[in-house]
Structures are given as C-alpha cells and as structure tokens.
C-alpha cells in the first residue's frame, strides 16, 4: 500500500510560508529505494521555474561528511594516521595550549580553538551582508589567515567541542597533498563517481551547464526575496552543490556502512568510526548530542540512533539525516536561509510511528507561538506585547515617551505552563505563562496580564 505523504507535504508548505523559503526539494530513501522525491515552490521566481527532485542547491557543511570520508579512505590506505599532527602535512604549527592538534581533532571539531569565522566573513563580503571582508580564495589563504590561531585556543585538544570550519579546510588541503589531486578532483573520482552522483559539482562552470539549478536568494527583514549569487570558493568545508536524487545514493551507501552497489568506498569498521560519537556537543536537543567524523550523532531519537548534518551558505541551505537501524533517510535542500532540520526529522518521526509534533524544535516553537501577542491588565489599564524574534520571546512595553524591551529567558516550557525570567534594572524577575484552550495569562512580579484574542 503506498504511503500517504499528505501530512508531510502540508507541514513543508507551512514551514516554507512562515520562513519565506522560495523553493525546496526533499527526497526520502528506504533501504535501497527512493520512495518519495519532489520539489516545492520555485527554483527561480523571476521565470516561475518550479523546483524538482533534480534541482541543484549548495549543501554547505553537509560537504564535511564527504571530506571526512576522503580522509578515512587515506587512513585505510596507510597514507595518514588519525593521531598525526597537522604540522606533519601542512606549513602550519597548530597547537592548543601547547598540545599539537591532530587529524582526529580536526575531524571532530575538538581542536580547542573556537571558530575563527573565516567562512562567515567570506560569505558576508561576497553576499553583501555586512562590513566584513576577508579576501580568501584558496586553502593556502586560509592557512595564512590561521597564522596566529594558536593564540585563540581556550582548551587543550580533545577536551571541548568548538565548531571550526577552518579545520575542514585544512583537511581538504591534506587530502590534496596526499593524493596528488586537487580536493575537488579527489572527491569526484573517489566518492562521487562510484556513487553515481553524476549531477553533484564543485565548479561554477559545471553548475551553469545545468538548467535545473536553484537561484540563490537573500530574504530581507521585510520578507522580500532578493536574487543573489552563489559563493563559489573553498570547497572542503562547504562547497558541494547537489540534489536530493544524488544524495539518495549517498544515503544508500551510509545504510550499507561504506558499500554501494558492490563497491566499498571504505570498509565497515572504518565507516563505523565515522559515525561514532567522539565528543559531546554543548547543545543537547535530544540529550548527549555528539559529533563523529563529519556527522552529528544523536544516540536516542525516540529509541533510535540518528545521524545527521545541516549546511548553510546563507543563500542555500541543506539538511540530511538517517536512522541506520531502520535504513531510512531524508535529504532536504532549499534556495534561501530559513530551512529547519525539523522538516527532515518530521518525516523520519512518521516512519517510526512517533508524533512529529512532539519533536523538541516543534514543541518549543508551538509553545512560543501561543505566547505571542498583545496583553493587558485589569480593564486594559496597561498594555504590553510579547513578540517572538529568531526563536526568542521579548517583553515589550511602549508609550509615547518610553520604550522598554526585555528578552525572556526560558526555564521550563510545557503545553499548559511556561516559565521565564527577565533581567530589568539589575533585578531577576520571574514570568509565568498559564496556557489553556481559550486563554493565556502572564503572571509577573506585580501584575497579571491576559492575552487579547
């Protein structure tokens, strides 16, 4: 009996409406078959061109899993060891608090060096987001940029997770040095070609030969879609451009722990190291969220291990996720910012017969949305606004001469009761929302407010 995807499709369209995404493609793989693939919205608004499952988008940091796979192929071949120092291969003496940073530390974002924000500055400059400008166009430029990175370290290697794009740039350069190929050539020959990912590219010339490609968009503060450019450049931390059909083959290889259609890209033991939790992440959406080699690992997603990664180059966004025990995976790509992992996780929840509405991201968003609105005290003697911006609630009070805005810091969020606190005048003030079907009340330190319907 065919599966019913109508609920998922309604959810996707609602998310696109709220986050102003112009176009999106999604593909779902079960075992060795693509069981669902379609596009939503527009790959190009000016021409009215619709998206398809074959529409090309930048996948951002999902590229890191390809880089990690390439490194592990070289480990199998004996060309590199995970405990080798970076300095062994590159002209960069990378240390954190006097301890050498190794290949393992770069793969797991555990170098001890917080993000140096090269990628953010590069993207901001190319896309015109702000004043930052960093003219890096090669991995060698990034190495030069990292000359004083040791001074930025705050912990010894292996002790703490700090997402570091620059680390994956270094890994790409190491792949190039050890293979005698450019990073892009290596990934093309050793990973994309064996997986028959024939429409996955790094280079602008390759992408522009394809008609089914997504125009990149910036969504401004008013929700207008501004056509932009794709930030071609350094590849190994986030430069791949792909589609959900090709990514379905990648997921099939993951289900089979490194094997695709009889060909082993890496052996099973090596692949298991890639998707093992090596270091805990500071965020705990599901509890004990961790990082492997180029993948984020959630050990307990409703009783299953979830392996996933998101990616963004600001004008294109991506998310890929799978449940190895169930051999189910999903990829979602969009041509603007605003794509949430909740779309992919919504689909996976349905497959394991869990109510997607209980996903932490959706539950929090649902509760915060209920609390938004205009509130007033007894007989309208005082009025305030609770506003949600970027996933944060703000308490706003305005009159002709004054304006006070305080962020609400959450403590406990439940469907019928949500507690927060604000800091006002140096004092911590508790805020309690009582939620029922037809009323929302806000109890502060002095007054009670009722949300206007």
Note whether 39 and 134 are same-domain residues: yes
Cβ contact 187:202 at 8 Å: yes
Residue range 390-409, pLDDT digits in tens: 789 999 999 888 899 999 99
pLDDT tens for each residue of 131-182? 777 888 899 999 999 999 999 999 999 999 999 999 999 999 999 999 999 9
Provide the residue range defining the domain that includes 374. Answer: 366-451
**Do 122 and 248 reside in the same domain of the chain?**
yes
pLDDT for 1 beyond 60:
no
Write down which residue in 358, 380, 399 finishes a domain: 358
pLDDT at position 343 is 96
What are the backbone angles phi and psi of residue 369, rounded to the nearest 5°? Answer: -65, -35
User: Would 194 be classed as within a structural domain?
Assistant: yes
Query: Which of 316, 337, 358 delimits the end of a domain?
Result: 358
Q: What are phi and psi of 137, to 5 degrees?
A: -130, -5
The residue-averaged pLDDT of 50-71 equals: 98
Q: Assess contact for 25 and 52: CB atoms under 8 A.
A: yes
Dist. CA 17–CA 33, nearest whole Å: 30
Calpha distance 264→260 (Å, rounded): 6
Tell me which of 308, 341, 358 is where a domain ends.
358
The answer to whether residues 352 and 385 belong to one domain is no
Residue of 433, 435, 318, 348 whose CA lies nearest to 384: 433
- Is residue 115 in some structural domain? yes
Mean residue pLDDT across the chain: 95
Q: How far apart are CA 367 and CA 95, in angstroms?
A: 44
What's the start-to-end Cα distance of the chain, in Å?
44
* Location of structure tokens 């990628």: 119
The CATH number assigned to the domain holding 165 equals 3.40.710.10
| Mean pLDDT to the nearest integer, 83-99 | 97
Q: What is the CA radius of gyration of the chain?
A: 24
- Tokens describing residue 87: 């300095």
Choice among 1-10, 149-158, 181-190, 379-388 with the minimum mean pLDDT: 1-10
Indicate whether 194 and 278 sit together in one domain.
Answer: yes
Domain shared by 209 and 340, yes or no:
yes
**Percent of the chain scoring above 70 in pLDDT:** 100
Q: Let me know whether 85 and 153 are in one domain.
A: yes
pTM: 0.92
The reply to whether 228 and 101 lie within a common domain is yes
Residues 317 and 395 in one domain: no
**Into how many domains does the chain fold?**
2
């Amino acid at each position: 009996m065919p599966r019913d995807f109508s609920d998922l499709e309604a959810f996707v369209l609602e998310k696109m409406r709220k986050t102003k995404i112009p176009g999106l493609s999604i593909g779902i793989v079960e075992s060795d078959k693509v069981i669902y693939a379609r596009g939503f919205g527009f790959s190009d608004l000016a021409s009215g061109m619709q998206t398809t499952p074959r529409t090309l988008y930048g996948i951002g940091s999902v590229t890191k899993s390809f880089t990690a796979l390439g490194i592990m192929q070289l480990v199998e071949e004996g060309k590199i060891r995970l405990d080798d120092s970076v300095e062994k291969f590159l002209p960069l003496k990378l240390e954190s608090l006097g301890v050498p940073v190794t290949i393992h530390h770069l793969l797991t974002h555990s170098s001890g060096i917080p993000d140096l924000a090269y990628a953010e500055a590069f993207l901001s400059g190319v896309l015109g987001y702000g004043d930052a400008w960093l003219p890096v166009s090669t991995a060698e430029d990034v190495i030069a940029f990292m000359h004083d990175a040791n001074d930025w370290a705050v912990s010894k290697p292996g002790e703490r997770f700090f997402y570091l794009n620059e680390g994956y740039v270094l890994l790409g350069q190491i792949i190039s040095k050890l293979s005698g190929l450019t990073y892009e050539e290596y990934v093309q020959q050793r990973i994309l070609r064996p997986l028959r990912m024939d429409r996955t590219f790094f280079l602008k010339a390759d992408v522009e030969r394809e008609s089914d490609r997504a125009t990149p968009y910036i969504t401004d503060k008013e929700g207008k879609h501004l056509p932009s450019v794709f930030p071609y450049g350094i590849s190994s931390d986030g430069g791949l451009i792909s589609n959900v059909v090709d990514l379905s083959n990648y997921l099939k290889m993951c289900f089979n722990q490194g094997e695709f259609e009889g060909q082993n890209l890496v052996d099973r033991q090596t692949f298991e190291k890639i998707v093992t939790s090596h270091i805990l992440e500071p965020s705990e959406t599901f509890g004990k969220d961790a990082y492997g080699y180029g993948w984020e690992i959630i050990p307990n997603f409703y009783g299953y291990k979830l392996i996933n990664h998101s990616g963004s180059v600001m004008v294109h966004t991506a998310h890929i996720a799978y449940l190895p025990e169930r051999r189910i995976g999903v990829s979602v790509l969009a041509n603007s910012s605003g794509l949430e992992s909740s779309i992919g996780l919504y689909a996976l929840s349905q497959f394991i017969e869990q109510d997607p509405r209980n996903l932490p991201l959706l539950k929090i968003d649902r509760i915060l949305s209920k609390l938004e609105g205009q509130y007033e005290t007894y007989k309208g003697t005082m009025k305030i606004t609770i506003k949600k911006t970027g996933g944060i609630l703000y308490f706003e009070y305005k009159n002709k001469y004054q304006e006070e805005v305080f962020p609400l810091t959450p403590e406990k969020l439940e469907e019928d009761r949500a507690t927060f606190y604000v800091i006002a005048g140096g004092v911590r003030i508790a805020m309690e929302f009582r939620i029922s079907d037809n009323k929302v009340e806000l109890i502060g330190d002095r007054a009670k407010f009722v949300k206007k319907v």
